[in-house]
Structure 1
Amino acid sequence: MEQHAVDPLPKGAVDSDVDLRVDGRDRRTPDPLLLSVIAAGGAIGATARYLVGLAWPAPPDGFPFGTLVVNIVGCGLIGILMVLVTDVFTQQRLIRPFAGTGVLGGFTTFSTYAVDIERLISERHAGTALLYLAATVVGALLAVRSTVTATRALIIRRSR
Protein backbone atom coordinates (compact mmCIF):
# COMPACT_ATOMS: atom_id res chain seq x y z
CA MET A 1 0.00 0.00 0.00
CA GLU A 2 1.35 3.37 -1.00
CA GLN A 3 1.66 6.10 1.67
CA HIS A 4 1.10 9.74 0.81
CA ALA A 5 2.40 12.72 2.73
CA VAL A 6 -0.43 14.53 4.44
CA ASP A 7 -0.39 18.32 4.37
CA PRO A 8 -1.10 19.45 7.96
CA LEU A 9 -2.88 22.54 6.61
CA PRO A 10 -5.61 21.98 4.02
CA LYS A 11 -5.33 24.03 0.84
CA GLY A 12 -6.27 27.63 1.59
CA ALA A 13 -6.03 27.20 5.37
CA VAL A 14 -4.29 29.84 7.42
CA ASP A 15 -2.19 29.17 10.49
CA SER A 16 -3.62 30.75 13.64
CA ASP A 17 -1.07 33.56 13.49
CA VAL A 18 0.34 33.66 9.99
CA ASP A 19 0.05 31.63 6.81
CA LEU A 20 3.59 30.34 6.60
CA ARG A 21 3.14 29.51 2.92
CA VAL A 22 3.09 33.19 1.93
CA ASP A 23 5.26 33.98 -1.09
CA GLY A 24 6.03 30.28 -1.59
CA ARG A 25 8.30 30.15 1.46
CA ASP A 26 9.09 26.81 3.03
CA ARG A 27 7.17 26.48 6.31
CA ARG A 28 10.36 25.60 8.14
CA THR A 29 12.10 28.80 7.06
CA PRO A 30 11.46 31.62 9.53
CA ASP A 31 10.36 34.92 8.06
CA PRO A 32 12.84 37.57 9.31
CA LEU A 33 10.23 40.35 9.04
CA LEU A 34 7.70 38.34 11.03
CA LEU A 35 10.25 37.53 13.75
CA SER A 36 11.32 41.19 13.91
CA VAL A 37 7.73 42.37 14.25
CA ILE A 38 7.04 39.87 17.06
CA ALA A 39 10.28 40.81 18.86
CA ALA A 40 9.54 44.54 18.64
CA GLY A 41 6.02 43.99 19.97
CA GLY A 42 7.31 41.75 22.74
CA ALA A 43 9.81 44.40 23.83
CA ILE A 44 7.02 46.98 24.04
CA GLY A 45 4.68 44.67 25.97
CA ALA A 46 7.33 43.43 28.39
CA THR A 47 8.49 46.99 29.06
CA ALA A 48 4.91 48.06 29.82
CA ARG A 49 4.47 45.12 32.21
CA TYR A 50 7.78 45.92 33.90
CA LEU A 51 6.69 49.53 34.43
CA VAL A 52 3.38 48.38 35.93
CA GLY A 53 5.36 46.11 38.27
CA LEU A 54 7.54 49.03 39.35
CA ALA A 55 4.52 51.27 39.93
CA TRP A 56 2.44 48.59 41.65
CA PRO A 57 4.73 45.94 43.20
CA ALA A 58 3.25 42.88 44.86
CA PRO A 59 3.68 42.98 48.62
CA PRO A 60 5.78 40.06 49.90
CA ASP A 61 2.89 38.46 51.77
CA GLY A 62 -0.09 40.07 50.03
CA PHE A 63 -2.34 39.93 47.03
CA PRO A 64 -0.55 40.62 43.69
CA PHE A 65 -3.01 43.20 42.32
CA GLY A 66 -0.61 44.51 39.66
CA THR A 67 -0.25 41.12 37.99
CA LEU A 68 -3.99 40.51 38.26
CA VAL A 69 -4.76 43.81 36.53
CA VAL A 70 -2.11 43.26 33.83
CA ASN A 71 -3.53 39.85 32.96
CA ILE A 72 -7.17 40.95 32.94
CA VAL A 73 -6.46 44.10 30.90
CA GLY A 74 -4.24 42.12 28.53
CA CYS A 75 -6.94 39.52 27.98
CA GLY A 76 -9.49 42.25 27.31
CA LEU A 77 -7.18 43.81 24.73
CA ILE A 78 -6.69 40.39 23.12
CA GLY A 79 -10.47 40.15 22.75
CA ILE A 80 -10.56 43.50 20.95
CA LEU A 81 -7.61 42.56 18.77
CA MET A 82 -9.11 39.23 17.71
CA VAL A 83 -12.31 40.91 16.51
CA LEU A 84 -10.37 43.59 14.65
CA VAL A 85 -8.05 41.17 12.84
CA THR A 86 -10.85 38.78 11.91
CA ASP A 87 -13.55 41.33 11.00
CA VAL A 88 -11.84 44.60 10.05
CA PHE A 89 -8.14 44.33 9.23
CA THR A 90 -8.30 40.95 7.49
CA GLN A 91 -5.57 41.70 4.94
CA GLN A 92 -2.95 43.01 7.38
CA ARG A 93 -0.80 39.97 8.06
CA LEU A 94 1.54 41.60 10.62
CA ILE A 95 -1.00 43.17 13.00
CA ARG A 96 -1.80 39.96 14.86
CA PRO A 97 1.82 38.82 15.31
CA PHE A 98 2.91 42.32 16.38
CA ALA A 99 0.04 43.23 18.68
CA GLY A 100 -1.11 39.77 19.79
CA THR A 101 1.94 37.54 19.99
CA GLY A 102 4.35 40.43 20.57
CA VAL A 103 2.84 43.29 22.57
CA LEU A 104 0.10 41.43 24.43
CA GLY A 105 2.14 38.24 24.75
CA GLY A 106 4.91 40.29 26.35
CA PHE A 107 2.48 42.28 28.48
CA THR A 108 0.45 39.45 29.98
CA THR A 109 2.28 37.23 32.40
CA PHE A 110 0.77 33.93 33.34
CA SER A 111 4.18 32.65 34.40
CA THR A 112 4.30 35.31 37.11
CA TYR A 113 0.73 34.34 38.00
CA ALA A 114 1.87 30.75 38.59
CA VAL A 115 4.91 31.86 40.60
CA ASP A 116 2.70 34.19 42.70
CA ILE A 117 0.34 31.33 43.51
CA GLU A 118 3.22 29.04 44.47
CA ARG A 119 4.73 31.80 46.64
CA LEU A 120 1.45 32.47 48.43
CA ILE A 121 0.91 28.77 49.11
CA SER A 122 4.48 28.20 50.34
CA GLU A 123 4.09 31.20 52.68
CA ARG A 124 0.88 29.65 54.05
CA HIS A 125 -1.54 32.07 52.38
CA ALA A 126 -3.59 29.38 50.67
CA GLY A 127 -6.82 31.38 50.88
CA THR A 128 -5.22 34.36 49.16
CA ALA A 129 -3.69 32.05 46.56
CA LEU A 130 -7.07 30.46 45.83
CA LEU A 131 -8.75 33.87 45.56
CA TYR A 132 -6.00 35.10 43.21
CA LEU A 133 -6.21 31.93 41.12
CA ALA A 134 -9.98 32.23 40.71
CA ALA A 135 -10.04 36.00 40.24
CA THR A 136 -7.48 35.81 37.44
CA VAL A 137 -9.24 33.03 35.53
CA VAL A 138 -12.72 34.49 35.91
CA GLY A 139 -11.53 38.05 35.28
CA ALA A 140 -9.57 37.08 32.17
CA LEU A 141 -12.45 35.10 30.67
CA LEU A 142 -14.96 37.86 31.41
CA ALA A 143 -12.59 40.46 29.96
CA VAL A 144 -12.23 38.56 26.69
CA ARG A 145 -15.94 37.85 26.39
CA SER A 146 -17.03 41.38 27.19
CA THR A 147 -14.52 43.06 24.87
CA VAL A 148 -15.32 40.69 22.01
CA THR A 149 -19.04 41.38 22.43
CA ALA A 150 -18.58 45.15 22.76
CA THR A 151 -16.16 45.41 19.83
CA ARG A 152 -18.45 43.39 17.54
CA ALA A 153 -21.41 45.56 18.54
CA LEU A 154 -19.43 48.72 17.75
CA ILE A 155 -18.36 47.36 14.38
CA ILE A 156 -21.93 46.41 13.47
CA ARG A 157 -23.26 49.81 14.57
CA ARG A 158 -20.57 51.67 12.57
CA SER A 159 -21.25 49.63 9.44
CA ARG A 160 -24.94 50.62 9.33
Structure 2
Amino acid sequence: MLTNTLLAVAIGGSLGAVSRYGLAQWVSSVWPKAYPLGTFAVNVLGCLAIGVLYGLWLARPEASPLLRQGLIIGFLGAFTTFSTFSLDTLRLMESGESLLALGYILLSVCACLAATWAGLALTR
Protein backbone atom coordinates (compact mmCIF):
# COMPACT_ATOMS: atom_id res chain seq x y z
CA MET A 1 0.00 0.00 0.00
CA LEU A 2 2.85 2.42 0.78
CA THR A 3 4.23 1.91 -2.73
CA ASN A 4 0.83 2.78 -4.24
CA THR A 5 0.62 5.89 -2.05
CA LEU A 6 4.10 7.04 -3.08
CA LEU A 7 3.24 6.42 -6.72
CA ALA A 8 -0.02 8.40 -6.43
CA VAL A 9 1.79 11.32 -4.78
CA ALA A 10 4.64 11.19 -7.32
CA ILE A 11 2.30 11.16 -10.33
CA GLY A 12 0.15 13.91 -8.84
CA GLY A 13 3.25 15.92 -7.97
CA SER A 14 4.69 15.76 -11.44
CA LEU A 15 1.39 16.76 -13.02
CA GLY A 16 1.00 19.59 -10.49
CA ALA A 17 4.49 20.93 -11.13
CA VAL A 18 4.02 20.92 -14.90
CA SER A 19 0.59 22.54 -14.53
CA ARG A 20 2.00 25.22 -12.24
CA TYR A 21 4.75 26.02 -14.71
CA GLY A 22 2.36 26.17 -17.64
CA LEU A 23 -0.25 28.35 -15.95
CA ALA A 24 2.33 30.72 -14.46
CA GLN A 25 4.03 31.11 -17.85
CA TRP A 26 0.74 31.77 -19.59
CA VAL A 27 -0.40 34.35 -17.03
CA SER A 28 2.98 36.08 -17.16
CA SER A 29 2.80 36.25 -20.96
CA VAL A 30 -0.65 37.87 -20.87
CA TRP A 31 -0.12 40.37 -18.03
CA PRO A 32 2.85 42.60 -17.20
CA LYS A 33 5.65 41.02 -15.21
CA ALA A 34 6.03 43.89 -12.75
CA TYR A 35 3.57 42.14 -10.45
CA PRO A 36 3.89 38.36 -9.92
CA LEU A 37 0.39 37.53 -11.20
CA GLY A 38 1.41 34.05 -12.37
CA THR A 39 2.23 32.95 -8.83
CA PHE A 40 -0.86 34.73 -7.51
CA ALA A 41 -3.16 32.97 -10.02
CA VAL A 42 -1.66 29.56 -9.24
CA ASN A 43 -2.09 30.06 -5.48
CA VAL A 44 -5.72 31.24 -5.74
CA LEU A 45 -6.67 28.45 -8.15
CA GLY A 46 -4.91 25.89 -5.94
CA CYS A 47 -6.77 27.15 -2.88
CA LEU A 48 -10.09 26.94 -4.72
CA ALA A 49 -9.27 23.39 -5.82
CA ILE A 50 -8.27 22.26 -2.34
CA GLY A 51 -11.53 23.66 -0.94
CA VAL A 52 -13.54 21.76 -3.56
CA LEU A 53 -11.64 18.51 -3.04
CA TYR A 54 -11.85 18.75 0.74
CA GLY A 55 -15.60 19.35 0.52
CA LEU A 56 -16.02 16.38 -1.80
CA TRP A 57 -14.12 14.11 0.56
CA LEU A 58 -16.13 15.33 3.53
CA ALA A 59 -19.29 14.40 1.63
CA ARG A 60 -17.85 11.08 0.43
CA PRO A 61 -15.44 9.73 3.03
CA GLU A 62 -15.45 6.37 1.25
CA ALA A 63 -13.65 7.92 -1.73
CA SER A 64 -10.27 6.46 -2.61
CA PRO A 65 -7.51 7.50 -0.21
CA LEU A 66 -5.01 7.07 -3.05
CA LEU A 67 -6.90 9.56 -5.19
CA ARG A 68 -7.08 11.99 -2.27
CA GLN A 69 -3.34 11.69 -1.60
CA GLY A 70 -2.48 11.95 -5.28
CA LEU A 71 -4.60 15.07 -5.80
CA ILE A 72 -4.21 16.96 -2.52
CA ILE A 73 -0.70 16.03 -1.42
CA GLY A 74 0.82 15.34 -4.84
CA PHE A 75 -0.90 17.56 -7.41
CA LEU A 76 -1.85 20.54 -5.24
CA GLY A 77 1.31 20.28 -3.13
CA ALA A 78 3.37 20.75 -6.29
CA PHE A 79 0.89 23.09 -8.00
CA THR A 80 0.56 25.75 -5.32
CA THR A 81 3.59 27.92 -4.92
CA PHE A 82 3.73 29.47 -1.51
CA SER A 83 7.52 29.27 -1.47
CA THR A 84 7.57 31.10 -4.80
CA PHE A 85 5.10 33.62 -3.37
CA SER A 86 7.54 34.26 -0.53
CA LEU A 87 10.46 34.72 -2.90
CA ASP A 88 8.43 37.06 -5.15
CA THR A 89 7.51 39.13 -2.09
CA LEU A 90 11.12 39.28 -0.91
CA ARG A 91 12.28 40.36 -4.37
CA LEU A 92 9.67 43.15 -4.42
CA MET A 93 10.92 44.32 -1.03
CA GLU A 94 14.58 44.14 -2.09
CA SER A 95 13.81 46.22 -5.18
CA GLY A 96 12.37 48.98 -2.99
CA GLU A 97 8.74 48.12 -3.69
CA SER A 98 7.75 47.62 -0.04
CA LEU A 99 4.23 48.98 -0.48
CA LEU A 100 3.65 46.75 -3.51
CA ALA A 101 5.03 43.80 -1.51
CA LEU A 102 2.63 44.50 1.35
CA GLY A 103 -0.28 44.76 -1.08
CA TYR A 104 0.78 41.48 -2.67
CA ILE A 105 0.90 39.75 0.73
CA LEU A 106 -2.53 41.04 1.79
CA LEU A 107 -4.18 40.36 -1.57
CA SER A 108 -2.67 36.87 -1.84
CA VAL A 109 -3.60 35.74 1.66
CA CYS A 110 -7.12 37.19 1.52
CA ALA A 111 -7.83 35.90 -2.00
CA CYS A 112 -6.47 32.43 -1.22
CA LEU A 113 -8.50 32.15 1.98
CA ALA A 114 -11.60 33.31 0.10
CA ALA A 115 -10.93 30.82 -2.72
CA THR A 116 -10.52 27.94 -0.26
CA TRP A 117 -13.78 28.94 1.44
CA ALA A 118 -15.53 29.24 -1.96
CA GLY A 119 -14.28 25.84 -3.04
CA LEU A 120 -15.57 24.24 0.13
CA ALA A 121 -18.87 26.16 -0.12
CA LEU A 122 -19.37 24.82 -3.66
CA THR A 123 -19.50 21.30 -2.26
CA ARG A 124 -21.77 21.94 0.68
**TM-score relative to the length of structure 2:** 0.91
**Secondary structure of 1:124's partner?**
coil
Quick one: which amino acid aligns to residue 50 of structure 2? I
- Alignment match, 1:8: none
Counterparts of 1:7-22 in structure 2, within 5 Å, are none
Task: Please give the per-residue CA displacement for 1:58-101, whole angstroms capped at 9, x wherever unaligned.
Answer: 72xx2111111110010000000001112125241112111100
2:24 and 2:41 in contact (8 A); partners too: no
Task: Please give the per-residue CA displacement for 1:1-37, whole angstroms capped at 9, x wherever unaligned.
Answer: xxxxxxxxxxxxxxxxxxxxx8xxxxxxxx1110110
In 1, distance between residues paired with 2:85 and 2:63? 34
- Alignment match, 1:41: 12
2:39 and 2:81 in contact (8 A); partners too: yes
In 2, distance between residues paired with 1:63 and 1:87? 38
In 1, distance between residues paired with 2:117 and 2:76? 17
1:53 matched to 2:19: no
Quick one: which amino acid aligns to residue 44 of structure 1? L
1:109 matched to 2:81: yes
**Secondary structure of 1:84's partner?**
helix
Quick one: which amino acid aligns to residue 69 of structure 1? A
2:24 and 2:42 in contact (8 A); partners too: no
Moved more, 62-71 or 47-56: 47-56
**Secondary structure of 2:65's partner?**
coil
The alignment of Structure 1 onto Structure 2 pairs a total of residues equal to 121
RMSD: 1.4
Percent identity for Structure 1 against Structure 2: 34
1:85 and 1:95 in contact (8 A); partners too: no
Structure ID, larger Rg: 1
- Alignment match, 2:119: 147
**Secondary structure of 1:63's partner?**
coil
1:122 matched to 2:94: yes
User: How far did 1:56 drift?
Assistant: 2.6
Quick one: which amino acid aligns to residue 21 of structure 2? Y
More helix by share: 2
Quick one: which amino acid aligns to residue 108 of structure 2? T
Specify which of 54, 63, 66 is matched with residue 82 of structure 1. Answer: 54
- Alignment match, 1:71: 43
In 1, distance between residues paired with 2:25 and 2:114? 26
Q: Which has the higher contact order (CA 8 A, sep 6+)?
A: 2
